[in-house]
Chain A
């Protein structure tokens, strides 16, 4: 019987490959990289919890190592610093979110459908895990220069998905150059607000309003509303 059948372990640990359960402790040398990977995941998971619960500024490295059940020395071999730890968590969460959103968009060839699917999926992600949302939207901005640069880069990437629309749609009129920058700021604020008010669970209800806000400049009111209707809950 594996040790984690009796003890409650966080998901990441319980998902370790089988070869780690077979080896009796001390008898075999495990590959160093596997151990480090495992420890790193544990630290990042613990850091996510602690950063979200206490807020980034108030969290100390001691809080993180206590939550992760490792020594301070181990912490510093895995992460440079508290900030480094936050950036690592942030990068991982954003990579996962991006994969999820791109997956949702993949089945749609038409730009406006991709955008609708992407918006819908993003709102769902916030509702599914408000703690992760809090870290990538709120806590990241409280951590100084490099962290803010990461956040800005994420928004810039999102803006590029929208700017894409300019080439893919036959626009009926000229659009303001700053449009995409403002729109991504709008969406960031909306998500930030839902999370900070403790309303993350109802974020998906914003879908139609957000999609219309984003699509109307490119498509005009009518086409925007049609596209949104195709993605409304209960739509075919």
Chain B
């Protein structure tokens, strides 16, 4: 996302205001993601977020009223980014099941490269006590919507929405566990692709069909 952006020289510079804003906002987003992923929501402070972003508190407050606003803004940006990645990946998919496969691969690749995104969106809100649970559930819904985009109405089965959500939650829990278990190197998530596609699609399609798509031999 915004990692690795160089620090702007302090003070005025001749850069276009919109560019500076985009740059600063991105860095705050990257900052809150990194700090919350590392310390959990409650223990994260604005000071730490600013330090991570290489920006002053004054700059922080020119964009956000507080930590919560910054956090929620970042959540929205992360979901938008995932949706965009998934859409781009599935642009040429032949049908919905194969779109699911490429979307799932895109997600796994993004998460493998940015394990903090998993911790930020699907671990930290679950461990912040009751207060952030709505954010967690919303993020689950987001992944479900991403995978379900373009699903035809006449699939073999039509599972209740609650069950669909639970499959996504179970999937994200598995990714979270993987990410936690291997926090030094890049976690090996893409090897889960076939399993996760089969588990997801088997809710809607006959298992044999789901297995064929999952294996990539469709």
Contacts and interface: CB of A to CB of B under 8 A. Distances in A.
Contacts of B131: 55
Interface string B140-178: 100000000000000000011011011101111110010
Contacts of B163: 186, 209, 213
Given A56-B129, A139-B129, A182-B167, A190 B202 contact: no
A182 B199 contact: yes
A179 B195 contact: yes
A176 B137 contact: no
Interface in A147-202: 148, 152, 173, 176-179, 181-190, 192-193, 196
Nearest to B173: A185
A117 B137 CA distance: 28
A173 B167 CA distance: 21
Given A177-B195, A179-B199, A185-B171, A142 B166 contact: no
Nearest to A172: B207
Q: Which of A138, A189, A196, A220 has the most chain B CB within a 10 Å cutoff? A: A189
A57 B166 contact: no
Interface string B166-206: 11011111100100000000000000101110110010000
Contacts of B165: 189, 193
A217 interface: yes
Contacts of B42: 57
Contact of B129 (A138, A188, A220): A138
Contacts of A183: 170
A176 B127 contact: no
A131 to B, nearest CB: 13
Interface residues of A, number: 34
A209 B160 contact: yes
Contacts of A193: 137, 162, 165
B204 to A, nearest CB: 12
A173 B195 contact: no
A148 B127 contact: yes
B37 interface: no
Nearest to B134: A196
B127 A141 contact: yes
Contact of A185 (B130, B169, B202): B169
A193 to B, nearest CB: 7
Nearest to A152: B177
Interface in B83-110: none
Contacts of B172: 185
Contacts of A189: 140, 165-166, 169-170, 173
Nearest to B131: A55
B148 to A, nearest CB: 16
Interface string A49-79: 0000001111000000000000000000000
B133 A196 contact: yes
A152 B181 CA distance: 12
A167 to B, nearest CB: 19
Interface of A: 55-58, 138-139, 141-142, 148, 152, 173, 176-179, 181-190, 192-193, 196, 206, 209, 213, 216-217, 220
Interface of B: 42, 126-131, 133, 137, 140, 159-160, 162-163, 165-167, 169-174, 177, 192, 194-196, 198-199, 202, 207-208, 211, 214
Given A55-B130, A206-B162, 14 more contacts: A55-B129, A55-B131, A138-B133, A173-B208, A176-B195, A176-B196, A176-B198, A178-B192, A178-B196, A181-B177, A182-B171, A185-B169, A186-B170, A188-B173
9 contacts: A55-B130, A141-B126, A142-B128, A176-B194, A176-B195, A176-B198, A182-B171, A185-B171, A190-B162
